[in-house]
A and B are shown apart, each in its own frame.
Chain A
Amino acid sequence: MPGKLKVKIVAGRHLPVMDRASDLTDAFVEVKFGNTTFKTDVYLKSLNPQWNSEWFKFEVDDEDLQDEPLQITVLDHDTYSANDAIGKVYIDIDPLLYSEAATVISGWFPIYDTIHGIRGEINVVVKVDLFNDLNRFRQSSCGVKFFCTTSIPKCYRAVVIHGFVEELVVNEDPEYQWIDRIRTPRASNEARQRLISLMSGELQRKIGLKVLEMRGNAVVGYLQCFDLEGESGLVVRAIGTACTLDKLSSPATFLPACNSPSKEMKESPLVHPPSHGCRSTHNSPIHTATGSRLTQSFSVSVPTLIYTGMGSGSAGKEGGPFKALLRQQTQSALEQRGGSPHRFCRRREFPFLTLTAFPPGLLVHVGGVVSARSVKLLDRIHNPAFVGIMGNTRSYKLLDWNSFNSDEPETRDAWWAEIRQEIKSHAKALGCHAVVGYSESTSICEEVCILSASGTAAVLSPRFLQEGTVDGSLEQRVEENLPVGCGFCHIPYDELNMPFPAHLTHCYNCRKQKVPDVLFTTIDLPTDAVVIGKGCLIQARLCRLKKKAQAEANATAISNLLPFMEYEVHTQLMNKLKLKGMNALFGLRIQITVGENMLMGLASATGVYLAALPMPGGIQIAGKTPSDGSYEQHISHMQKKINDTIAKNKELYEINPPEVSEEIIGSPIPEPRQRSRLLRSQSESSDEVTELDLSHGKKDAFVLEIDDTDAMEDVHSLLTDVPPPSGFYSCNTEIMPGINNWTSEIQMFTSVRVVRLSSLNLTNQALNKNFNGLCENLLKSLYFKLRSMTPCCLCHVNFTVSLPEDELIQVTVTAVAITFDKNQALQTTKAHAEKSLQRASTDNEELLQFPLELCSDSVPSHAFPAAKEHPESASSNSGTPAAQRAVTVEKASPMGDGNFRNRSAPPCAGSTVGVVKMTPLSFIPGAKITKYLGIINMFFIRETTSLREEGGVSGFLHTFIAEVFAMVRAHVAALGGNAVVSYIMKQCVFMENPSKNQAQCLINVSGDAVVFVRESDLEVMSTQQPAVNCQPTCTGEVTT
């Protein structure tokens, strides 16, 4: 009996009227945990009941504590008929299970009903007494901390990074059970919500167990996803990075002297040098080897993807042997290479990290993006074994798919293992032993499912990894005295034995190592990277029609289309990158969505100009037939337009790289002396797949051949992307390269658009145009809406595309707008330049000139380009100060409400609503996170049968998303937090049936609940917690 859960129901407020006659409600509450239920008394005739219940005590296993949610149901008592449910609150008590997080959950929770939405609020207090039996503790995974943040959380340091953890849990979807035909939509929705809550809990516990096995104490970059596979079931899967974290005890060790979160991040892990596996005496060692470029990743992944896709798409039985073969191959390959630097991978199957930002020194080299996709048919997964066990008394005791593994060859687990294997081999082909910024996703349409995984091949320093995982061979390659900021660009593969044709040059920063001409990655820009100018959001958008087909034919058709889509997405990214005058992409995320009759590809990334990489060449247009004069003219006109755009973009993003003459750079001829050791033979690394070459040859002449109207359209579409209006920047990474003086105003938002395509013009061309227009318009709308915040930057812009129906495209965007101080920008860039100058001067003498030039060139240009022109309407002008003022007051009580308060609310409950910030970023500008309270992982279903009355689809979804935000905020506030960081809306599945006046939506969100303190307050206050100061204002004083 390792735990006692105690719950107290205090009061309710704003309850709906349940009795029309009296316009009042007779409410009582059921508190349920596991199979135990308690009830409060009925509080007669009130919309603001005061139950003030005793403590309800549940004595439970810690396993249940982790799996089960606390379920609170508010009902209206009815003497003659069945009691009516008002709504429910699910509380995840996981945050109470580890010592450093929250100690009590107490606050007002919105009472949620899946049909009516939020109906009033309930005040609940929850506590857990854990019996401190450490052995027991270890067996469940209580105590393992989870973070959604994909970097080492701010108030911790990483002692060891153990590596990849993954798990998945499968169950039947209640929506598709036979019983669903006879139960109400409400009951069905609630069954689903509860099931997913249970499954999440179980999944987290299992991941926790794996972490304990690895001797870790935390999971960072925890990403949990749902696959709603319809008939075939419900999959909940999660990946993460197991770590051993140490709490940085004294906040004084790194006082937030600087505004930029990057610096803080940079400093924190350095406070205590890691104790494991590192003999380094220098603080920031840079290991040399090599760098790479993205092209490779594609070239390997795409063909394989066809291969596996066809294999499993065609038939499970045929796919089976192939997979087994694949496994064996890799297995033996691993064993053979026992003594190689890749021993790191041997202990755990996959050397993947879900992190996108790293403690200094961990990331040595970046190879490029590796990705793999596979098309699967879902119908085969349905397993009769479910049904038997579902009839059990513990109705929702979940099935771990793995337990069926022995006699079930075709499993979700195996599918993912296969993909991960592929990713791993791609990384090896790039000379990398690890994959960072790793993520997985699915797209499901009917019974076809595309599994995707992507990451960035990288070479990591062994000092954070587990002891003995990497032997000496890596350290041998360490070279001393390398300038910071370019090491990660150097190619990790051997240039004599390149896995693909690439154009290498000497690093423009250190001039010692080789770098590729472009670099694509899925990670955030390393904080020490030397960047010229600012970054920008780059998107490639693509649609491909496909015939409607069934099952295997469908899967095959999709498999056939995928490589072409990958190729085109890549080409578009390349072109757009060059058009921006930049040479590297960070945070690349390519999403392929499958629909009934089309495939959509959307790639988002943040383009930057890395000082270490060569200047990108322009784009050349070549006509096919030079016969026609006017055609020639047209071509040259286009060429001019492109050149103008490049020049304009360079100015806009302040890209002024120093001129370097060719002789200094040196020839791109490989120098055998330097790279003598061959890493491996080419054949060893990849399977016998045909390689698709996506590299576009020479760097300077990026030739677009215009041989038909399609190509012409493509060129046109390149030029249609309009830059954001002045005062706006956007990126999809955490930090905008080139901006580091954030002010405190932030606005997180979600925007959803659904458009219906007219079925008449369904050609690829028209589709592309529509899709492009949709995304561009969406961005334009965002810029317009947020105009009062300028100058500001949209960070972590996350687009999700889904195809809910035949002719519907749904685009969901979540991002955060952060204001910055344009005046301060000048100073900080100057300081930055000076810093880099200093840094450089300690380096090689001959390098001195470059940073000097950087300094003198870039400082004046960093001035806000069109500052005086930036539009300010009357409204935005007058609105700004108020908003700013309000934001700085974190827990402001707006106005007292005199009599109201005296009569209804308990005095302690804090009848005013504290501000809870939400952000997809891992930090809060101008503030310091002092405590992580646990992860928030919530799943909601909302359904309506009166769509028109709720304001149509827009009204329905608008309300629902607002409600989801409210519930997240309420949970965070109840944990004692004042912000959610690394917030993500993982799923927003919207279905409508306007003719029946119905709609349904499922939303899954997650993030880390934290306590933050303003940096300005920090000096005054102790860092323990932000004071919850209830400031009574005018009215409050008058009336009391």
Chain B
Amino acid sequence: MTSELDIFVGNTTLIDEDVYRLWLDGYSVNDAVALRVRSGILEQTGATAGVLQSDTMDHYRTFHMLERLLHAPPKLLHQLIFQIPPSRQALLIERYYTFDEAFVREVLGKKLSKGTKKDLDDISTKTGITLKSCRRQFDNFKRVFKVVEEMRGSLVDNIQQHFLLSDRLARDYAAIVFFANNRFETGKKKLQYLSFGDFAFCAELMIQNWTLGAVDSQMDDMDVDLDKEFLQDLKELKVLVADKDLLDLHKSLVCTALRGKLSVFSEMETNFKNLSRGLVNVAAKLTHNKDVRDLFVDLVEKFVEPCRSDHWPLSDVRLFLNQYSVSVHSLDGFRHQTLWDRYMGTLRGCLLRLYHD
């Protein structure tokens, strides 16, 4: 007796969260059944392996049918075929678009192209995430990217609107889109200690302050591209390190203010010029696309690593960066105060986030 056909259709579509997770994780039906058996479900429910197999197949079939709709989540809300309670719809969408930390770190900042897709095999081997799941995650990134790439308005809002994601997840996708668009390098060895959260945090700050949308939210509101004019202007900051008097004055202002407050005061004093040169040079270089891509490498090289080697505590880094930014206002000869604030405000936030082990 062999089963030819075996289906279960509920008026309300049954969603088993555990099976959904297994499906999303890219397991085959047989693997999923094996994993479910291992979870002890048979003992809990008194079911047989055959029942479990049939149940898993059914759920997989349902998910497969839903997948087409999940590619455009608003469709899931308006379709009539599957009656799914709103809370469940939200869960389906949210889980479908949720990605693995390990995976996103591999593709963050890479071009979401066919070439990268070919590398998914390697990523799968490296991260232990099934190829199927890698493909889904990659396709999700790409799909979201394609939809919001040319769109005006807030990036997060756009993503939320077209993919109905939670605020948290929409922000993450905004970061992914932003990174993919600007091709920030995140894969270098010295950046390995950084989590996706670190990058997402920086992305958010940059979107808020460094994009076109940041200056004028009404006109030409483009969140994905950095404000080219702003980057061009950043060259003006160079005077802070090029003008020796200015640099000395800046240093003395910072040192006076921080004396006795830093545990690493002497290290700071000796390194001030190097650090300042590093930070200003990063700004001045951002006119070149290549250097934009290396932003995080530069920040880690020029600031995070020197401080770390001198064992600066985070609180000292914060105090220093605050004072370093604020002191510029007292430099009489320096005329680019707003530009400096726009640059340094974001950079300070990023650096503090990036400064950890």
Contacts and interface: CB of A to CB of B under 8 A. Distances in A.
B9 interface: yes
Nearest to A879: B17
A139 interface: no
A897 B3 contact: no
Contacts of A752: 5-7
Contacts of B124: none
Interface in A589-626: none
A755 B82 contact: no
Given A752-B7, A753-B7, A918-B11, 10 more contacts: A725-B45, A747-B12, A755-B3, A781-B51, A783-B47, A875-B19, A882-B88, A886-B88, A1035-B161, A1038-B160
A13 interface: yes
A121 B48 contact: no
Contact of A886 (B44, B78, B79, B87): B87
A808 interface: yes
Interface in A714-771: 725, 747-758, 770
Given A751-B9, A885-B87, A756 B4 contact: yes
Contact of B86 (A110, A886, A911, A961): A886
B65 A958 contact: yes
Contacts of B57: 954
B61 A887 contact: no
Contacts of A913: 77-80, 83
B47 A784 contact: yes
B61 A780 contact: no
A287 B217 CA distance: 84
Most chain A CB atoms below 10 A, which of B7, B83, B160 = B7
A574 to B, nearest CB: 28
B90 interface: yes
Contacts of B90: 894-895
Contacts of A965: 9, 11, 81, 83
B41 interface: yes
Given A777-B50, A787-B45, A954-B57, A755 B4 contact: yes
A320 interface: no
The 5 closest A-B pairs by CB, nearest first: A886-B85, A894-B86, A754-B5, A875-B18, A871-B44
B55 to A, nearest CB: 6
A755 B2 contact: yes
A912 interface: yes
A898 B88 contact: no
B9 A749 contact: yes
Contacts of B19: 875
9 contacts: A780-B48, A785-B14, A875-B18, A878-B17, A899-B161, A913-B77, A954-B6, A954-B61, A966-B82
Nearest to B161: A898
B173 to A, nearest CB: 15
A753 B80 contact: no
Contact of B1 (A755, A873, A915, A955): A755
Nearest to B21: A875
Contacts of A118: 80-81
A962 B88 contact: no
A958 B82 CA distance: 11
A970 interface: yes
Contacts of A785: 8, 14, 55, 58
A780 B51 contact: yes
Contact of A912 (B46, B77, B82, B83): B77
A966 B80 contact: yes
Interface string B63-75: 0110000000011
B16 to A, nearest CB: 6
A789 to B, nearest CB: 10
Nearest to A897: B74
Contacts, number: 198
A80 interface: no
Interface of B: 1-19, 39, 41, 44-48, 50-52, 54-55, 57-58, 61-62, 64-65, 74-75, 77-83, 85-91, 157, 160-161, 164
A1038 B1 CA distance: 57
A893 B89 CA distance: 12
B1 A751 contact: no
B51 A883 contact: no
A773 B1 contact: yes
A989 to B, nearest CB: 13
B9 A754 contact: no
B5 A14 contact: no
Interface in A918-952: 918, 951
Interface in A955-978: 955, 957-959, 961-963, 965-966, 969-970
Contacts of B3: 753-756
A755 B13 CA distance: 24
Contacts of B86: 886, 889, 892-895, 1033
A774 interface: yes
Contacts of A1035: 160-161, 164
Interface in A849-898: 871-875, 878-879, 882-883, 885-887, 889, 892-895, 897-898
B183 to A, nearest CB: 29
Contact of B15 (A879, A911, A951, A958): A879
Nearest to A958: B7
B7 A756 contact: no
Nearest to A761: B1
A336 interface: no
A961 B3 CA distance: 19
Residue among A725, A747, A750, A958 facing the most chain B CB atoms (10 A cut-off)? A958
Contacts of A683: none
Nearest to A957: B7
Contact of A953 (B4, B14, B79, B157): B4
Contact of B18 (A751, A874, A899, A911): A874
A917 interface: yes
A961 B9 contact: yes
Contacts of B9: 749-751, 958, 961-962, 965
A751 B47 CA distance: 17
A770 B14 CA distance: 28
A36 interface: no
Contact of B44 (A13, A873, A897, A917): A873
A963 B81 contact: yes
Given A753-B6, A755-B2, A965-B11, A882 B91 contact: yes
B77 A895 contact: yes
A280 interface: no
Contacts of A773: 1
A108 interface: yes
Contact of A875 (B7, B17, B77, B157): B17
Given A785-B8, A878-B17, A1038-B157, A962 B81 contact: yes
B150 to A, nearest CB: 14
Contacts of A886: 85-88
Interface in A519-568: none
A998 B48 CA distance: 32
A332 interface: no
B90 to A, nearest CB: 7
A917 B10 CA distance: 11
A951 B61 contact: yes
A913 B79 CA distance: 8
A753 B90 CA distance: 31
A900 interface: yes
A107 to B, nearest CB: 10
B16 A875 contact: yes
Given A873-B45, A882-B85, A892-B86, A756 B80 contact: no
B92 to A, nearest CB: 11
Contacts of B81: 110, 118, 959, 962-963, 965-966
A972 to B, nearest CB: 11
A751 to B, nearest CB: 4
A118 B80 CA distance: 9
B7 A751 contact: yes
A969 B80 CA distance: 8
A450 interface: no
